[in-house]
Amino acid sequence: MEHGSLAHRDTAKAVAAPKKPALERILEVVERVGNKVPHPAVIFILLIAVVIVLSHLFYLAGASATYESINSETHQAEEVTTHAQSLLTADGIRFMYADVVRNFMSFNAVGVIIVAMLGVGVAETSGLIKALIRRLVEVAPARALTYILVFVGILSSIAADAGYLVLIPLAAAAYLSVGRNPLAGIAASFAAVSAVFSVNILVKPLDGILTGITNDAIHLMNPNLSVSLTANFWFSVASVLLLTVVCGLITDKWIEPRLGPYKPSEEMKAEQAAEAAGDQARGLKYSLWAFIAILIVFAFLTLPSWGPLRNAETGALIGDSPFMNGLIVFIAIAFLVAGAAYGFGAGTMKSSADVIKAMEKAVIGLGALLFLLFFISQFIALFTYTNLATIGAVKAGDALSTAGLGPIPLLVGFVLVVTVLNLIITGIIPKWAIFAPVFVPLLMRLHVEPAAVLAAYRVGDSPTNAITPMMAYFPLIVGFSAKYQKDAGVGTVIAMMLPYVIIVQVVWMILLVIWQVLGLPWGF
């Protein structure tokens, strides 16, 4: 009887614990393996060593690539031959030694993070961000919270990289405030900010650069044809709306159930209770007045035709203008002033010394991230110096362009090549500068609109941003995750984001193909 009872219990266990889906098991393996890799700084040190060795091997092999490029001054096509450069030659060794500081200081992410956090740190310490989250939760339907955060995350690309620094931690706190797993909030907002980065329902500074490169490539075939800043407007609007729903569904139906319920630590509960202190109503009123004052000042600097923050030559405000190029400064000032006003109104700050302490605290908290960004900046600089990325991109583009494919297969193949290369070359502008002179004229010969090629490039460029450690803000996301799950590492983030990358990539490519087949207008 006892044996039979044991057998019955084993059978019951087997029934109670169904076999996990294959993808779920794969994600668990990815997470376990990824979290066992060394510290990210060690990874980049090892990658630097690999690049040094590979650069010399390709240099000895005489690796090179010849391609047509656009001269940025004359806007004329010219043939360029790029050779692999070794980091073990005299010039390479001099570069590695003499340019260490320059490589770090010219790494754009460093300045953006520090400037943004000077303002965001004040808003966070004063309690403004948490108060805004509570108001958002109060007015937003519970089921719509994810979709609102994803939609705002996609739109945040108008402010360049601000979404990484502001929205992602805000989304985690918003989820936590309603008893949901904050890691799911990080996942949803990170997917929106990074995996759908290249499209928006607004015209952003990046559009001016991408269309400029596109037009130079078009003029290789037809000097009288050009596309405008809104060349991909309709496709971008459709992409934003569709991918908002897709990312929201992935979060609510897959990611959050996989993560399970979240139990905040006693320390975090105490922190939340402390943040709730103060006169929130008066603080929010003060912050609103302060924000309106900031808007008035910047309206005076931007709206008049003579505004100093407009383009001095063209008078443009959107696109290439001081205001758009320095938008992160506007965001930092807005958060700083509104945060300080909230602090004084709510009583969480008593003097200017408290504001300074909040700014100091924010910068001090960046220590570990800046340490890691030092190694990332060196790797990117050395990798760029070797020309290996350019040679690889040109070779891949040449192989695809000579494959004899039709318009649709060629567009899809182009998307896939960009997707893979984005794992190591995350900058959206450098890749397009390489690909545009090749694929825009090639597809124009096949009667494909240049706007369609640019749209295909957008589809390929963004999704893998969410899983590549080469992306400058990836370590920041790991840090945000570790705040809520102490053992979270690179593997945790990659496993969490992989479903977004795969599904967004497939759905977006299907949308691209349907748009091309139906001949829908890409923009205006």
Is residue 18 included in any domain, yes or no?
A: no
pLDDT at 233: 92
Distance (Å, whole) CA 23 – CA 27:
6
Q: Would you call 274 exposed, middle or buried from its count of C-beta atoms within 10 A (0-12, 13-18, 19+)?
A: exposed
Is residue 29 included in any domain, yes or no?
A: no
Q: Would you call 473 exposed, middle or buried from its count of C-beta atoms within 10 A (0-12, 13-18, 19+)?
A: buried
Is residue 26 included in any domain, yes or no?
A: no
**Confidence label for 107 from pLDDT (cuts 50, 70 and 90):** confident
Q: What is the mean pLDDT of residues 433-443?
A: 81
Is residue 406 included in any domain, yes or no?
A: yes
Q: Percentage of residues in the chain with pLDDT exceeding 70?
A: 87
pLDDT at 76: 67
Q: Supply φ then ψ for residue 21, to 5 degrees.
A: -60, 155
Is residue 4 included in any domain, yes or no?
A: no
Domains in the chain, number:
1
**Confidence label for 72 from pLDDT (cuts 50, 70 and 90):** low
Handedness of CA 245, 175, 161, 414 (dihedral sign): negative
Q: What is the mean pLDDT of residues 64-89?
A: 78
Residue-range definition of the domain harbouring residue 51: 40-518
pLDDT at 95: 95
Distance (Å, whole) CA 87 – CA 99:
13
* One-letter amino acid of 61: A
Is residue 368 included in any domain, yes or no?
A: yes
CA 368 to chain centre: 20
The whole-chain average pLDDT of the chain stands at: 84
Q: Would you call 497 exposed, middle or buried from its count of C-beta atoms within 10 A (0-12, 13-18, 19+)?
A: buried
403-426: pLDDT as tens digits: 777 889 989 999 998 998 888 877
Please tell me the pTM assigned to this model: 0.74
Is residue 6 included in any domain, yes or no?
A: no
| Mean pLDDT comparison of 23-37, 208-222, 249-263, highest-scoring range | 249-263
In Å, the largest CA–CA distance within the chain is 93
* DSSP 8-state code for residue 220: T
173-191: pLDDT as tens digits: 889 888 899 999 999 999 9
Is residue 9 included in any domain, yes or no?
A: no
